[in-house]
Structure 1
Amino acid sequence: MEVTQCINFLLTRAQHSVLSYFRSRLDEYDVTPVQYGILSCLWCKDGQTATEIAQRICLDGSTITGILDRMENKGLLERQSDPNDRRAIRVVLSDKGRQLEKPLGEVVKASNQRVLDIFTKEEQELFVESLKRVADNISKW
């Protein structure tokens, strides 16, 4: 099989293009796409553990620790001891992190739409559903 026809190659190439586009759009806010994912988790439910966030956005524990360190250094969040369980550390948004919800939400919404604009409305729905099906079912094999 020609490598350019391989599903893995095509998905990787598409993911690289989309990631580069999102990176360029988020640069203005000094936030990476994965940092946006973490912020988004915290906007939905502040005070989660690093493990909860990692599971939600499909990261391993060692990866998220470094990302959280960088985000804390940028003043986007902080880690706090859980008052109900001294062993647990909760990740909470800073004021700066909270203030980014609206502008970053608008950037990501516009970026998603820009990526999907090459498709008709029906194709957009099918494309998104197809990606979800691939992501949800490959791990079952």
Structure 2
Amino acid sequence: MELQDCINFLLTTAQHNVFQYLSQRLAPYDITPSQYGVLNCLWGREHNTPKQIADTLCLETSTISGVLDRMQKKGLIDRIVNVEDRREVQVIATEKGNLLEEPVLKIIEEVNIEALKDLDSTQQEQLKAYLRIIANGDFK
């Protein structure tokens, strides 16, 4: 099989291109695509645990811990320990993190439009449907 026909190569290359473009667009707000993902999990919700965030973003809990550390240092999130059960930590967006919602969601919409501009609306929906099938696949 030619490399350009390999699904892993195609998905990785496409993801890399979108990630680089998104990173560039988010840079003025000093957040990364991963940090956007965390904020998106928090916007409109009162709290989330690190595990819930990791599960939503399909990341390891250890990976999300480092992302949360960096976001807390930037003042984007706070972690609140449950006084009744110190093992439970809730993550909330700070005011600074919440203020990013409108401009960042606008960027996300623009990046999606740019990434899909060469496809008509039917192709866009088909692509998303096919990617969901692959993303939810059970590979053994």
Distance in 2, Cα, partners of 1:82 & 1:104: 30
List 4+ stretches of structure 1 deviating above 4 A.
none
Distance apart, 1:86 and its partner CA: 2.6
Residues 64-73 or 37-46, more deviating: 37-46
Query: What is the deviation of 1:140?
Result: 4.8
Amino acid at match of 2:47: G
Name stretches of at least 5 consecutive residues in structure 2 with no aligned partner: none
TM-score, length basis structure 2: 0.95
Instruction: Give the alignment's Cα RMSD to 1 decimal.
Output: 1.1
- Corresponding residue of 1:87: 87
Tell me the equivalent position of 1:21: 21
* TM-score normalized with structure 1 length: 0.94
Residue 73 in structure 1 maps to residue 56 in structure 2 = no
**Structure 2 residue matching 1:98: 3-state secondary structure:** helix
Q: Matched residues in 2 for 1:84 and 1:113: separation?
A: 46
Distance in 1 between residues matched to 2:3 and 2:71, nearest whole Å: 38
Equivalent residue of 1:91, what SS? strand
Instruction: Give the residue type in structure 2 aligned to 1:47.
Output: H
Structure 1 Cα separation of the partners of residues 18 and 125 of structure 2: 17
Deviations 1:14-54 (A, max 9, x none): 11111101101101100100100000000042311100100
How far did 1:85 drift? 2.6
- Structure 1: 5+ residue stretches without partners: none
Q: Structure 1 stretch 4-13 or stretch 82-91: which is displaced more?
A: 82-91
What is the alpha-carbon distance in structure 1 between the residues aligned to residue 16 and residue 108 of structure 2?
A: 16
Match of 1:136 in 2: 136
**Bigger mean CA deviation after superposition, 101-110 or 1-10:** 1-10
Q: Secondary structure at the match of 1:92?
A: strand
Give the total of aligned pairs: 140
Between the aligned partners of 2:85 and 2:101, the Cα distance in structure 1 is 29
Deviation of 1:84 after TM superposition, in Å, equals 4.4
Inter-partner Cα distance in structure 1 for 2:115 and 2:65: 30
Partner of 1:109: 109
Secondary structure at the aligned position of 1:75 is classed as coil
**Amino-acid identity (%):** 42
SS of corresponding position for 1:112? helix
Give the residue type in structure 1 aligned to 2:34. V
